[in-house]
Amino acid sequence: MDLRVKKTHDSLQRALLILLNQKSLENITVAEICRIAEINRGTFYLHYKNVHGVFERYFNDIVKDLKFSYDFPYDVTKDNLSMLTPEMIQIFHHVKKHEAFYRIVFDEKTPMLYYHKLLETVRSFILESHLEEIEHISDQQLEYLASYTANSIMGILIQWHKEDYVLAPETLNKYIYEFYRLNETLKKNI
Amino acid sequence: MDLRVKKTHDSLQRALLILLNQKSLENITVAEICRIAEINRGTFYLHYKNVHGVFERYFNDIVKDLKFSYDFPYDVTKDNLSMLTPEMIQIFHHVKKHEAFYRIVFDEKTPMLYYHKLLETVRSFILESHLEEIEHISDQQLEYLASYTANSIMGILIQWHKEDYVLAPETLNKYIYEFYRLNETLKKNI
DNA sequence: GAAGTTATTGTACATCTGTTCAATAAAAAT
DNA sequence: ATTTTTATTGAACAGATGTACAATAACTTC
């Protein structure tokens, strides 16, 4: 790979991180990030459409980290019966690890793009490991079930974000498990 | 209320709708919307921060419509035992009714703001009507349960969006009901 | 190492942004 | 109806955006 291109990308990524310590993402301009990175503004537009382009590159690295951590089995007692197993705790640990990053992802000003990408990732985890055994369900219905299930976990993340990430990942995991069992109890009261 | 202010808001709202038929929201500039609305650009900044400000005003009207429709009981056979009752079909009907609008809300380029607001609305529906009878749950846990439950419905909406809103609201409602029952079946296989 | 290819640079341009301010027009208060 | 208050306007400003182009520098190929 061309060293010049790599240098451009690295400089811009480094400049973005510097600026994110000073101001919010939506207040960072292309001109500004180029000044810090010592990159010509014209060069910027050769590679990215806007500042979010640089952030998206950063995002892809973070999600790679999530996918990697998910490939490692977290707990031996794999509970395949629930669609929302304690396995999901890895997602909470991941978000906590990159908290500063996810504060931006869930921010009101941030485009939906990153939310969609994260949901897609969680969705693939669920499709790969938890939805195989389901019968009597159409392909299309399975797509909806995956989104339904994955996004319920995203709901936990959003609430976590709203409460400033105060709870421990283990607590969230316990919550999910209890929410799953809750259906059962309610049904028994019929 | 000052007639001049109302005229300004109305002109801008009308101009936004005209422009949305021609191009996507993120490509509409303040200068452009002011030219169409025949409003001085300085006046624009007296009322809004950017183009999204005008869209947000529009959004508030739409959500008002959702809240209104939800106040009307849709079906007499209210199933209080499930947290996700067929009552939710009203949300699907609402989104279908304002499909052109929600195509923008769920778009990748659109800020998370509208998603958060819609989630908050669905969340309030659930808290008001379905989560009262739950016992042995802390206030905080209830907050998470509400986000968890409300966002699972949002997951259906996102999938609907991804599939270009082809299915009927009734079908989605049937799906949700079946997803709820699915837990039951899986557990019996222990 | 020379020749060819490609990324980066500097400059320029029209347009947009966000803000300020005095002048004016429209509404509200008396 | 006159005065007071407030919204809108037009002009001007520094800075940002997105694009274009020729010149130059860096990398690749042979």
Give me the pLDDT at residue A129, please: 77
Q: What is the mean pLDDT of chain A?
A: 88
**Cβ contact (<8 Å) for A119 and B151?**
no
Contact: B110, A108; criterion CB under 8 Å:
no
Average pLDDT over residues B65-87: 62
- pLDDT per position as a tens digit, A9-29: 999 999 999 999 999 999 999
Could you report the per-residue pLDDT of A70-80, keeping only the tens digit for each? 876 544 344 44
The pLDDT of residue A188 is 46
Task: Strand C: list positions under 7 Å from protein Cβ.
Answer: 6-12, 15-21, 26-28
Q: For the segment B99-157, what is each residue's pLDDT rounded down to a tens digit?
A: 999 999 999 999 999 999 999 999 999 998 766 667 678 999 999 999 999 999 999 99
Question: Nearest-5° angle of CA A129, CA A131, CA A134?
Answer: 140
At B50 the pLDDT is 98
What is the structure's pLDDT at A177? 86
For B:24-63, CB contacts with A below 8 A are none
* pLDDT at position B113: 98
Report the distance separating Cα A119 and Cα A113, nearest Å: 10
Measured CA A57 to C1' C9 distance, in angstroms? 24
- Give the confidence band of B189 by pLDDT, cuts at 50, 70, 90: very low
Asked if residue B187 lies in contact with residue A184, where contact means CB atoms within 8 angstroms, the answer is: yes
Q: Which residues of B touch A183 (CB under 8 A)?
A: 82-83, 180, 183-184
pLDDT reading at B186 higher than 70: no
> Residue B184's pLDDT is what?
56
A4 CB-to-strand C distance under 7 Å? yes
How far apart are alpha carbons A109 and B111 in whole angstroms?
5
pLDDT band of B42, cuts 50, 70, 90: very high
Q: How would you classify residue B105: left for phi > 0, otherwise alpha for psi between -120 and 50, otherwise beta?
A: alpha
Nearest CA in chain A to B160: A144
> Across the interface, do A151 and B148 touch by the CB < 8 Å criterion?
no
Question: What's the pLDDT tens digit per position in A146-189?
Answer: 999 999 999 999 999 999 999 999 999 999 988 877 765 554 44
> How many angstroms is C1' of D16 away from CA of A46?
17
What distance in Å separates residue A164's CA from the closest CA in chain B?
Answer: 13
> Taking the C-alpha atoms of A80, A174, A68 and A7 in order, what is their torsion angle to the nearest 10 degrees?
150
Global confidence as pTM: 0.92
Which backbone phi and psi does B119 adopt, to 5 degrees?
-60, -45
Chain B positions touching A133 (Cβ under 8 A) are 186, 189
- Is the confidence at residue B6, as pLDDT, over 70? yes
**The pLDDT value given to residue A136:** 78
Give the pLDDT band of residue B31 (cuts 50, 70, 90): very high
Q: What is the mean pLDDT of residues B74-96?
A: 66
User: Could B108 and A113 be called an inter-chain contact, meaning their C-beta atoms sit closer than 8 Å?
Assistant: yes
pLDDT in tens, A49-108: 999 999 999 999 999 999 998 876 544 344 444 445 667 889 999 999 999 999 999 999
Two tokens, residue A106: 């869930």
> Residue B182 pLDDT > 60, yes or no?
yes
Q: Straight-line distance from CA A7 to C1' C4, in Å?
A: 23
Residue B88 or residue A17, greater confidence: A17
- CB within 8 Å: B148 and A115: no
Amino acid, single-letter form, for residue B24:
S
Report how far residue A157's alpha carbon sits from residue A119's, in angstroms, rounded to the nearest whole number.
Answer: 11
Q: What is the mean pLDDT of residues B54-79?
A: 79
Backbone phi, psi, residue A111, to 5°: -60, 155
Nearest to B151 among A82, A155, A172 (CB): A155
